[in-house]
Chain A
Amino acid sequence: MNIPAFEPVDALLIVPALSAVILAFLSGYRLTSYVNFVSSGVAFFFACALLFHRPAAGNYLFVDDLNVVFVVLSTFIGFTTSAYSASYIGHEIETGKLSPAHVRFYHAMYQSMMFAMNLALLANNIGLMWVAVEFATLTTVLMVGIYRTPEALEAAWKYFILGSVGIALALFGTILVYMSAEPVLGEGYDAMVWTSLMQHAPAFSPRLLNVAFVFLMLGYGTKVGLVPMHAWLPDAHAEGPTPISAVLSGLLLNVALYAVLRFKMLLAANTAAIAPGPLMIALGLASLIFAGFMLYRRDDIKRLFAYSSIEHMGIITFAFGMGGPLANFAGLLHMTMHSLTKSAIFFAVGHIAQVKGTQKLANIRGLTESHPVLGWALVAGVMAIAGLPPFGVFMSEFLVVSSTFARQPLLAIPLAFGLLVAFGALLMRLIELAFGEPSESIGEVEASVVPLYFHLALVLLVGLWLEPHVAAWFQNVAASLG
C-alpha cells in the first residue's frame, strides 16, 4: 500500500477537525481554552510551513500564491483570538453569562469554524469550496446565538436566513460555472477544479459566465457584508460573544471575499466575458458610503465597529474591482491591515463591555482615565482604523485613493468622500468614549492585552516600514490577480 507523504496542507484540516472532536468531549474551561489555544497555534505553524513547502495541486486541495496569504492571515488571527478568547470566556463564566456546557460547545464550534475556513481557502474545487463556506456559516450562526437572549437568537436567525439565501445564490452561480466549463473540460471533476478551470477559462461560454458571476457576486457578497445584503452583519457582530465578532470581521468576511476574487480571476481570464470590475466597484462604493453615514447613528459600541467593517470591506472590494497591480496590492494590504486592526479593536471592546457592563455608547465614557491600558489601546485602534498615520491602514487607504486618482479620477471623489464621512464619525465617537469624565464601572477584568497590543504593533510596524520580502510577496500576488 502506498502511504501518502505527510503534507502541511492536510494538517491544516486535520488539526482543527480533530480538536473539534476532542473539545466536544472535554470539560473545564481552563483545559478546553488551553487545548483551543494550542491547536490554533499548531494550525498557524502549519500555515507558515506552506510558505516554504508547497505541495502539488490535487483534485480537492491546492496551494498557490493567493490562498497562502489568506490562510496565513486567518490562522494567525484564529490563533491570537483563541488566546484572547480564553480570558474573555473565563470572565463570562465567572459572571455566569455562559454555562460550562455552553463553553464546551463554543470551543468545539470554534475549531469546526477554523476547519471550514481552511477548507474553503484551500479547496481546489468550486463545489467543495461552496460546501465549506456553508459549513462555516452554520458554525458561526451557532456561536452568534450562544447567549440565548432574545436579541442573540434574533441576530442568529437573521444571519442564518440571509446567509442561507446568499449561499443558495452562490450555488446557482457555481452550477452555471460548471455548465460553462463542461463542454470544454468534459463531464466530471475536471470541470469543477480551479486549476483546470483557470487554464481553460478563455474557451468557456462567456454569456453563461456573465450570468454566473452576477449570482456568485450577490451570493458570496452577502457573506462579505456588502450593501444592500449587509443586514445580518451588525446584529451578528453585536449580539454574539466578542471573540466571534473578532473572527467574523477578521476571517469570515475575508473567506467570502476570497471566493469572489477567485471567480473574478476566472472571468478576467475570459476576454469575451463582462469585466467583473464595475459590479465590484459599485457594490464597494455603496457599502463604503452607506456604512459611513450609518456610523453616525449607532448607539451600541459593537454595532459601531460592525458598520466600520462593512465600510472597510467596501473599500477592499472597490480596490479589487479597480484591478491592476497597484490597486490589487492596495486591496490585499488593506484587507490584512483591516483584519488585524479590527480584531484588535474587538479585543479591546470585549473587555471594555465587560468592565462597564454595557455595550451602550452613551454609558461608556472616559476610558483612558478609568482603564488606561484598554482605553489607550482603543484610542490607537480607532485611530488606525480611521486611517490616521502612522498606522498601516493609512498607507493602504492612501494607496487605494492614489491609484484610483491615477486611473479614474471621477471615482476617487465618492471614494474620498466616503472615507472622510467614516473618519469623522469614528473620531467623534472616539473622543466621547476615551476622554472626559469616566462613567461607572461594574467590576474588574483580567484583561489579556498581549494579542491586542501585538496586533496594533504589527499594524504600526507595517505603517512605518513594510518589510521588503512581504512587499514583494504581496506584489507577486497582486500581479496574479489581474
Chain B
Amino acid sequence: MENLSFDVAHLLAGGLVLVSFTLLYQNRMTGLINIFTLHAIVLSLSVAWQAYSQHAPHLYLTAAIAVLFKAVIIPLSLQRIMVRLRIHRDIEVVGGVGMTMLLGICLVALSLVVMLPATAAADPLAREDLAFALSVVLLGLLMMVTRRNAISQVIGFMSLENGLILAATGAKGMPLVVEISVAFSVLIAFIVIGIFLFRIRERFDTVDIQELDRVRGGRR
C-alpha cells in the first residue's frame, strides 16, 4: 500500500511535467488552452491524491479550487476573450521547437540536480515531488520567456503556479495552502480581467486602447 501511494503520486507529478512539455510547443491558441485544462486536471488529481495519502482533508478543497477555477472558469473565459479579440484562430510562431525542448530538458535536469541532494533528509515522496514541482516552475518560466502573446504568457504563468501548488501540497502538513491557492486565484483572475479590459495582445508592446475607447464610447 505504501508503495502504491508513492507510485501514484509519482505518476501524477511526472505527468504534470510531461504536460508542461506539451505546453511548450503548442502553437495554436485553442490547443494551448486545452492542454492547459489538462494541466489543471492532472494537478488537481495529484493534489487530491496527496490529500488522500496524507489524510489532509483541507487539501481536497485546494484540489476542488484547481478543478473549478483553472480547468473550467479560466479556460472558458480565455476562450471567450480570444473570440472577442479575434485571435482564436491565430497561430503563434514558436521559434525553434527543438531548441526550446532541449532547454526544457536541461531545466528538468537542473532541478533534479539541485533538489535531490538538497532534500536528502526529507521523505522520498516529498523529495521527488519537489524536484518535479521545480521542473514545472522552471518550464513555466521558460514558456513565459519564449512567448510574446499575452495569453500564452498568462498560461505560462498559470502552469508555473500549478508547479508551486504541487510543491506546497507535497510539503507535508504545510498550513495556509488553501489560503495561498485562493490568493493565487485572485491574482490570476486580475490578470485575466486585465487582458480582457485593456485588450492586451502582446506583452509589452501593444496595448490596444483604441478598442477600449470605442467600447466605452456610448457612455462618454
Chain A positions near chain B (C-beta within 8 angstroms): 125, 127-128, 130-131, 134-135, 138, 141, 148-150, 153-154, 156-158, 160-161, 164-165, 168-169, 171-172, 175-176, 178-179, 182-183, 186-189, 191-192, 205, 207-208, 210-211
Contacts and interface: CB of A to CB of B under 8 A. Distances in A.
Given A138-B187, A175-B174, A165 B117 contact: no
A211 to B, nearest CB: 5
Contacts of A134: 183, 187
Contacts of A175: 164, 167-168, 171, 174
B190 interface: yes
B167 A164 contact: no
Classify the interface of chain B: helix, strand, loop or mixed: helix
B171 A168 contact: no
B122 to A, nearest CB: 6
Contacts of A160: 190-191, 194
A183 B191 contact: no
Given A138-B187, A160-B194, A168 B122 contact: no
28 contacts: A127-B174, A127-B179, A131-B179, A131-B180, A131-B183, A141-B190, A154-B204, A157-B204, A160-B194, A161-B157, A164-B157, A165-B144, A168-B137, A168-B160, A169-B137, A172-B133, A172-B134, A175-B168, A179-B171, A186-B173, A187-B174, A191-B174, A192-B176, A205-B119, A207-B118, A208-B118, A208-B119, A210-B118
Contacts of A176: 130
B160 to A, nearest CB: 6
Contacts of B130: 176, 179
A188 B122 contact: no
Contacts of B118: 205, 207-208, 210-211
Nearest to A210: B118
A160 B204 CA distance: 11
A447 to B, nearest CB: 31
A141 B144 CA distance: 20
Contacts of A208: 118-119, 121-122
A168 B120 CA distance: 24
B122 A161 contact: no
B59 to A, nearest CB: 13
A269 to B, nearest CB: 18
Interface centre among B119, B176, B190 (most CB of A within 10 A): B176
B161 A179 contact: no
Q: List 5 A-B pairs, minimum CB-CB distance, nearest first.
A: A187-B173, A127-B176, A207-B118, A153-B207, A175-B167
A219 to B, nearest CB: 11
A211 B207 CA distance: 37
A138 B203 contact: no
A171 B157 contact: no
B203 A161 contact: yes
B164 A205 contact: no
B128 to A, nearest CB: 13
Given A160-B191, A205-B121, A165 B160 contact: yes
Contacts of B161: 168
Interface residues of B, number: 42
Contacts of A207: 117-120
Interface in B158-212: 160-161, 164, 167-168, 171-176, 179-180, 183, 186-187, 190-191, 194, 198, 200, 203-204, 207, 209
Contacts of A183: 121-122
B114 interface: yes
A134 B191 CA distance: 13
Interface in B108-123: 114-115, 117-122
Contacts of A165: 141, 144, 157, 160
B153 interface: yes
A195 B184 CA distance: 26
Nearest to B150: A157
Nearest to B208: A150
Contact of A164 (B122, B174, B187): B187
A131 B95 CA distance: 36
Given A130-B180, A179-B130, A211-B115, A189 B175 contact: yes
Nearest to B213: A148
B126 interface: yes
Given A134-B187, A168-B160, A211-B118, 19 more contacts: A127-B179, A130-B180, A138-B186, A138-B187, A153-B200, A157-B204, A157-B207, A160-B191, A160-B194, A168-B161, A169-B137, A171-B180, A172-B133, A172-B134, A175-B164, A186-B173, A207-B120, A208-B119, A208-B122
